[in-house]
Structure 1
Amino acid sequence: MTGSKKHRLALPSPAQAAWQDLEIGMFIHFAPNTWQDQHYDMLYTPLSEINPKELDAAQWVDVAESMNAKYIVFTAKHCGGFCMWPTKTTDYSVKSIPWRKGKGDICGDLAKECRKRKMPLGFYLSPRDDHFGITTSGIARSGRSCHQELYNKIYRQQLEELCTGYGKLVEIWFDGGADGDLAGPVIKKYQPEAMVFGSNRATIRWVGNEDGVAPYPARNTVSNNDKDWSPERNAAAGGKGTKWMPAECDVAIRRDWFWFTTNEGTLKSLDKLMDIYYRSVGHGCNLLLNHTPDRTGLIPSADVERAAEFGIEIKNRFSSLLAETKGKGSVFELDLEKDTVIKHFVAMEDIRHGERVRAYRIEVLANDEWKTIVTGSAVGHKKIDRIEPVMASRARLRVLKSAGTPVIRSFAIY
C-alpha cells in the first residue's frame, strides 16, 4: 500500500453517517397534478374534484417496508403550491377539498403511521409555488420586493409548521434549491439532525440525474468553495474535498413522478430496478425510489407488487453471507474452507474515519492460484462488486492506495 499526500480528511456528522446507513428511501409524489395527467399543477382542477376517498397511509408504509426502504420523503407541497396539511398560510390546501370534509391532514396521517412503524419521515417542500406566483428557488416572478418579502414570510411559516407539527424529520427536500439563509435557521432550531437537500446549507446533494444511478466513483466529499457538487467533479478531485456531502439518487418507479392515466405501462422492470440498486446503493449512495398514489389515494396494485418483488430480490441476493471480516489495514483475507460459488463482494469503509480508500483489488484463490477478479478506486459507505459466479476457497481485499490507514467496516462475500 502506498499512502497519498496527507490532507485533512472530511468527516460525516453522526446524523449524516446514520442517514447513509438507511440506504433506501421511498419518495411519494401526490398533488393536484394527479388529477390532471400533468408533471406540474396547472391550477385548473376544481378543488371539489380532489377527493382521495381511499387514501391509506398504512398502505404507503407497507409498500416502503416491502421494498426495504428505511425512510420516506413525502411531497408536502409540490411546485403548484397545494399543501397536503392544513396550513395557516393558504386555503390552497387539504382544508379546501371534500376529503374528510376539509378536516384531513395527509402529512399527519403519514407521520402517525411512520411513528407507529418506526419509519423515519421527511418532507419535500417546494420553494417554487405557482399559486403564489413564485418561481424556482422561491423567487417572486413579479420581481417586486413586497411580493418577495410576503412569500418569504409564508414559506418560513410553512417550513416551521412542518418542522414542529410532525415529530422528528429525517430529511427536508428543497427541489430547485432554497434560500439557506431563510430556511437554515428554522431547520437548525427545530430539526437540527434532518438532512437538507437543495440549498446553500445542504448536508446531502443531488446525484445529478433522475435515473437513480451514480457514476463511479461517487465520492462523499466536496469543496467548501466549489458550487459544483456533481459526482463527476468530486471524482476528478480524487476524494480531496473538505466537506462531507453524500449523494442521493432519486428516480421514479414509473416514467413520471406522478400517476397518469396513461403511464402504467412504464412501470420499471425488476431487472431495471436491480440495475439501479447496484449503481446507487452499490456505488455508496442512497436510493430514493418514487411511488405515486392514484386518484383514490392508494398506490396502484401493479406498483405495490413490483416494490415487493424488488425487496425480495435484494434479500435473496444478499441473504447468503459466506464470510465477513473487518478491521484496520491494507489486506483483508477470508477463508471459505472449500471451493464455493461467489457472486458478490461487498466492502464498506467505516466512514466515521473518512473516505480513505483510493485504489483496491479483490483476488480469489482458485486452483492454488491467486487471481484478480475486481479492481476499483473507491469504497466509501458501500461498494458492491457483482461478478460472474466464480469458484474459490479464499478471497482477499487488498487496498493499494489510501489516505491514511484504511478502516474497513465490513468486507463480505455472498
Structure 2
Amino acid sequence: MVTVKEMSEVRPEKRQVAWQALEFYGFIHFGMNTMTDREWGAGDEPLSLFNPESLDCHQWVKSLKKSGMKGIILTCKHHDGFCLWPSETTKYTVANTPWKEGNGDIVKEFSIACQSEGLKFGIYLSPWDRNAASYGTGPSYDDLYVAQLTELLTNYGDVFEVWFDGANGEAQGKQQRYQWARYFSCVRQLQPNAVMAICGPDVRWIGNEAGETRPNEWSVVPKSLTFAERTIEKSQKTEDGIFGQATSSDMDLGSREVLENTNESLIWYPAEVNTSIRPGWFYHAHEDDQVKSSEELFSIYKKSVGGNATFLLNVPPMKKGLISPVDQKVLTELGKKIDKLSDTTLLCSATIRVNEFIQEEETYRYVENHHDSKNPAEITISWSAEEEVSGLILQEDITQGQQVEGYEILVNQQEKEHCVYKGQLIGAKKILTFPKMMTNKLTIRITKVRGNYTIKGLNVISEG
C-alpha cells in the first residue's frame, strides 16, 4: 500500500519540467504517403513518386507558430520506411528521389526552420519498417534502427522530444520485438535533455487520438503504465482508418484512492494529448472541408494544456510541400484565442489577499501546519466594482510534485458567496471555466492536499 507521503514525494526530472512548460506543439506528417494519398504505405512505393516541387519548411514552421505552438515534431520515417533524410542505413531515402535531384534533406531544412523561428525541434522515427529487409530478424534490425536514431540525434541540433510509436505489424511476413531499453539508452546518451514519449519512459499517451481527456490527468501514477504502449500484442498492426479509443478503465489513473490500493512504486509520468487537425494524419485533398474549427481545437487546448497535460496537434503539408490555406486560417484563429488567455487586465486591476499562504511576489506558498488555524488556505481576488468573469487559470509549482487534490471557487454576488466550481487537481496548469457572471470577488479555497505546495501562476479570464 502506498502512503500519501510517498505520493507527495514523487518529483519530475528537469527534462519533464522543461517539456511541460512548452504546453502546445505540433506534429508534421509528411512523406511518401503524402505523394500516394495514403495513410500507411507498404514500403514498396517507387522512389520516383517523391517530388514535392514547392516544399518550404519555413512556411510550415511559420504557419504552425501562428497558432501559439512552441515546438514541432517531424515524422522522419513512418511505417513504410521512407527516410526524409539521406540515411546511410538504406537506399529508401530522399537521396534517391527526383526531389532536388537527390541532394535534399528535409530533416535538415526543417530543423533549421525551427531554429530560425525559435521553436523546438522533435523527431518521430517509426520502429516498424515495412521496407527494411532486416525487419523481423532481431538484433540486425535493431542495429539499423539505432543507427538511424543516431543519425537524427547527432546531425540536426538539439531535440526536445523523441516520439516512439508502438505500432508493430509484420513486414515480409516477419515481426520484430523491439529492444526498447537499447533505444532509450541511445537517446539518453545523445540527447539527455530530450523526453521520450508514448512508448518512452518520460511522457505517456493520453490513450486515444481524438483529443479526448480525462477529468483529472494525474502525473504521479503506478510504474506499470510505462509498459502500456509497448505490449506487442496490443500494438496497432492494421490501418483501420479509425482513431484509437481510450483503452484503460482507467479514467482515474492517479487519485489518492487509486494509489493507496496499489503495491507498485510510483513515477512521474505526465500525459500528452495528440490529435490531427484533419481526419487523417497525412494530407488528403478530399478532407479540405473536414478541418477542425478553431473553436473545436481551442476546446481541446483548454482541456489538455488546461488539464495538466500537453497538446500535440498534427498539421500535414500538401503534396506540393506547403501547408494548406484552409489549415493556415484555422491555426491563425486558434493562436488569437490562446493569446487572449494571457490577458492579465482583470487580474492587474484586482486586489489580492491571502489566508494561510506565505505570499512571495506573485507566488503563494503553503506550508502545512505553518499556522495553528484549521481554516483552509484561500486566495481572494476582489475589485472595487463588479467585473464580468468566466474562469480562472491556476498553476502549481510541479518541481515540488503534484500536491493539490481538492479546491473550490467561490463567487460573491449580491453580498452572498456561492460555489461555482469544484475541482481536484491543478498540476502544471488548470484552465477552469464557469458560466459568465458579474462579481466583485472570487475566492480560491484549497480543501485537500498531499503535502506542501506553491501556487505559482494565477489569472482571471473572461471569454468574449
Contact 1:206 1:249 in 2 (8 A): yes
Are 2:348 and 1:327 aligned?
Answer: no
RMSD across aligned C-alpha pairs, in angstroms? 1.9
Q: CA deviation at 1:49?
A: 2.0
Contact 1:332 1:411 in 2 (8 A): no
Gaps of 5+ in 2: 168-177, 230-247, 260-264, 349-361, 367-376
Contact 2:206 2:271 in 1 (8 A): yes
The AA in structure 1 aligned to 2:5 is: K
In 2, the alpha carbon distance for the partners of 1:42 and 1:96 equals: 18
Contact 2:162 2:195 in 1 (8 A): yes
In 2, the alpha carbon distance for the partners of 1:363 and 1:194 equals: 40
Q: Tell me the equivalent position of 1:221.
A: 220
Moved more, 336-345 or 244-253: 336-345
Which aligned runs of 4 or more in structure 1 are off by greater than 6 angstroms? none
Identity among equivalent pairs (%)? 31
Q: Tell me the equivalent position of 1:161.
A: 151
Q: Tell me the equivalent position of 1:29.
A: 29
In 2, the alpha carbon distance for the partners of 1:186 and 1:44 equals: 29
Q: Secondary structure at the match of 1:341?
A: strand
Contact 2:220 2:254 in 1 (8 A): no
Q: Secondary structure at the match of 1:73?
A: strand
Contact 2:160 2:195 in 1 (8 A): yes
Q: CA deviation at 1:320?
A: 4.6
Contact 2:204 2:272 in 1 (8 A): yes
Are 2:169 and 1:170 aligned?
Answer: no
Are 2:289 and 1:232 aligned?
Answer: no
Tell me which of 299, 313, 317 is aligned to 1:293: 317
* 1:283-327, Cα deviation, whole Å (9 max, x unpaired): 111000000011111111111111111111222344254117531
Q: CA deviation at 1:406?
A: 2.9
Q: CA deviation at 1:225?
A: 4.2
Moved more, 403-412 or 78-87: 403-412
Q: Secondary structure at the match of 1:283?
A: coil
Tell me which of 400, 421, 424 is aligned to 1:353: 400
Change in 2 beyond 3 A, CA 1:19/1:295: same
In 2, the alpha carbon distance for the partners of 1:208 and 1:254 equals: 19
* Aligned pairs (5 A) from 1:92-131: 92-131=92-131
In 1, the alpha carbon distance for the partners of 2:201 and 2:155 equals: 22
Contact 2:163 2:197 in 1 (8 A): yes
Q: Tell me the equivalent position of 1:308.
A: 332
Change in 2 beyond 3 A, CA 1:292/1:11: same
* 1:82-132, Cα deviation, whole Å (9 max, x unpaired): 000010000101011111110100000011111222211000000000112
Q: Secondary structure at the match of 1:153?
A: helix
The AA in structure 1 aligned to 2:267 is: K
Q: Tell me the equivalent position of 1:193.
A: 193
Change in 2 beyond 3 A, CA 1:5/1:114: closer
Are 2:410 and 1:379 aligned?
Answer: no
Change in 2 beyond 3 A, CA 1:5/1:125: closer
Q: Secondary structure at the match of 2:302?
A: helix
* 1:207-263, Cα deviation, whole Å (9 max, x unpaired): 000012321100012222454586624145558472111111110000000011321
In 2, the alpha carbon distance for the partners of 1:165 and 1:215 equals: 38
In 1, the alpha carbon distance for the partners of 2:257 and 2:94 equals: 48
Q: Tell me the equivalent position of 1:144.
A: none
The AA in structure 2 aligned to 1:340 is: E
Q: Tell me the equivalent position of 1:143.
A: none
The AA in structure 2 aligned to 1:171 is: E
The AA in structure 1 aligned to 2:146 is: R
Moved more, 66-75 or 31-40: 31-40
Q: Tell me the equivalent position of 2:276.
A: 252
Change in 2 beyond 3 A, CA 1:266/1:237: farther
Gaps of 5+ in 1: 141-146
Change in 2 beyond 3 A, CA 1:238/1:112: farther
Q: CA deviation at 1:185?
A: 1.7
Q: Secondary structure at the match of 1:390?
A: strand
Contact 2:42 2:131 in 1 (8 A): no
The AA in structure 2 aligned to 1:209 is: N
Contact 2:43 2:79 in 1 (8 A): no
